[in-house]
Amino acid sequence: MSPLRATWEVARWEFLRFFKIREILVGLVMAIVGGAGAFGLMRLADRGSDDPVHIAVAGVPGLPIAVPPESRLRIQSHPAERMPALRQAVERGELAGLVTWRADGPPALLAGEGARWRGELEQVLGAAAMQARFGAVGVRPEQLPALLAPVTLDVTYTADATPPRSRGETILTILAIVLSLMGVFTGVGYVFISITGEKQNRVAEQVVAAIPPQSWVDGKILGLSAITLANLTSMVLSFVLLGLGARALGVSLPALPRAAGSPGLIATLVLVTALGFGFWFAFMAMVAAVVDDPNTSSRSGLLMLPIAVTSLAFIAFRGPDLAITRVLSILPPFSASVLPVRMLLDRVPAWEVALAIVLLAGAVWLLRRAAGKVFHLGMLMYGKEPTWGEVRRWMRET
């Protein structure tokens, strides 16, 4: 059997070993059901808030209160003498609130409950007070819109400038970082479990006697990268389904940024992410091969290293145009998590993307070779763990 076919067979085996279509489908259904349930609960909670809210305003006769037609607020002015009766009405729950206009301070509100409508009430009363003040100096109501119109700028950016981040871009980038972290975390977990399990079950001798160790480690990296990408794809699919469902139900969602519709950008992001998986999975293959017992080995702590490095993507999120971000987005293995964020939020020169991909691919190639060597010797070592010095020597021999 050629090394290439052996690699393919191991990749296929590893993929099928961990790929559980039923679990993925259950996950999708759970996401949809959960989303629909959350939406239903929100609607249920909002239903009570449709009831009219009766507010009394006392002490300012003639205040030009204008409540928008879609508002739940029902505001009525009363003379100051009725204040004791109105106060009692609030205490009995017949009125939601009582606003008392005072000459020596801001208006006071007496509310029976949480007064979640307070902001809306402040807007309505503020507009009425402003209209009253303008009326006092002779401004007619129809003149108010022109007087109060804000100044808005129609912005055009130069070709090199990066426009400010939209809400959609922010959400998409955070999702990308979360998916990347989840991918690395679950993927290195797969690699660690797979290899230490095979070592403990003494499968290693059987396999290494049949195929080259390099094919074995390559197949594992490919198969487990594929399963990780498949899992991430199912998560993206569930997000998309949830978004479509929410939109169909009339929920207002932020517009998708232009990057989401660029096949070239998406392909580059997937490539960089997949190379990142290759790097970290090769690293973890090397670590797992020199772990004798995963329950007691201190080397299990190295599982956190890929997560820590991948988390540097948040630096790029905070400052995509910082010098440190530019450097990290080119150097492997940081580039695997930093470059995608930078590409989503900033304009990245093509040469930087190309250089980052070449360097990352080279690093993956070297690491997989080193992993193959360490894997060969480490997998057949039982009862004790090789020292880091021995591991370094094996790697030098690569």
Partner 1 sequence: MADWIVSVEGVTKRFGAVTAVDDVSLQVQGGEVFALLGPNGAGKSTLIRMLLGLQRPDSGHIAYRLEGTEGPPRPAHVGYLPEDRGLYPEIKVLPTLVYFGVLRGMERRAARTAAETWLERMGLADRGGEPLKSLSKGNQQKVQFISAVLHRPRFAVLDEPFSGLDPLNQDFFLGLIREMRDGGTTVLLSAHQMQLVERLADHVMVMNRGRPVLRGTLPEIRQRWTRETRLVLRVGGGGDGAALAAHPAVLRVDATAPGELTLYLQPDAPLNPVLAAAAQSLDVREVHSAPVTLHEAYVRAVGGETADADADAAQEVAA
Instruction: Return the sign of the alpha-carbon dihedral for residues 10, 284, 176, 29.
Output: positive
Q: How far apart are CA 375 and CA 265, in angstroms?
A: 35
Supply 27's token pair: 């996950």
Buried b (16+ CB within 10 A) or exposed e, 70-82: eeebebebbeeee
Angle between helices 213-248 and 263-289 (to 10 degrees): 140
Task: Work out how close the CB of 379 gets to partner 1 at its nearest, in angstroms, rounded to a whole number.
Answer: 10
- Give the per-residue contact string, 378-397, with partner 1 (x = CB under 8 A; - = no): --x-----------------
Supply 17's token pair: 């070993």
C-beta atoms surrounding 326 within 10 Å: 19
Does position 315 bind partner 1 by CB under 8 A? no
What's 398's DSSP letter?
-
Which of 53, 86, 90, 211 touches partner 1 by CB under 8 A?
Answer: 211
Does position 1 bind partner 1 by CB under 8 A? yes
Nearer to partner 1, 21 or 147 (CB): 21
- Give the per-residue contact string, 322-361, with partner 1 (x = CB under 8 A; - = no): ----------------------------------------
Phi, psi of 67 (to 5 degrees): -95, 130
Positions of E strands within the chain: 53-58, 73-78, 97-100, 108-111
Nearer to partner 1, 158 or 201 (CB): 201
Which of 203, 303, 361, 395 touches partner 1 by CB under 8 A?
Answer: 203
Stretch that binds partner 1, among 105-113, 138-146, 198-206, 260-268 (CB under 8 A): 198-206
Stretch that binds partner 1, among 10-18, 91-99, 278-286, 334-342 (CB under 8 A): 10-18
Does position 193 bind partner 1 by CB under 8 A? no
Nearer to partner 1, 342 or 376 (CB): 376
Nearer to partner 1, 4 or 148 (CB): 4
Closest CA to 339 of 353, 359, 350, 354: 353
> How many residues of this chain bind partner 1 (CB under 8 A)?
21
Which of 20, 202, 247, 318 touches partner 1 by CB under 8 A?
Answer: 202
Nearer to partner 1, 211 or 275 (CB): 211
Q: Among residue numbers 15 through 34, which ones bind partner 1 (CB under 8 A)?
A: 16-17
Q: How far apart are CA 97 and CA 110, in angstroms?
A: 5
Instruction: Return the sign of the alpha-carbon dihedral for residues 392, 393, 396, 398.
Output: negative
Q: Rule CB under 8 A: which residues touch partner 1?
A: 1, 6, 9-10, 13, 16-17, 197-198, 201-211, 380
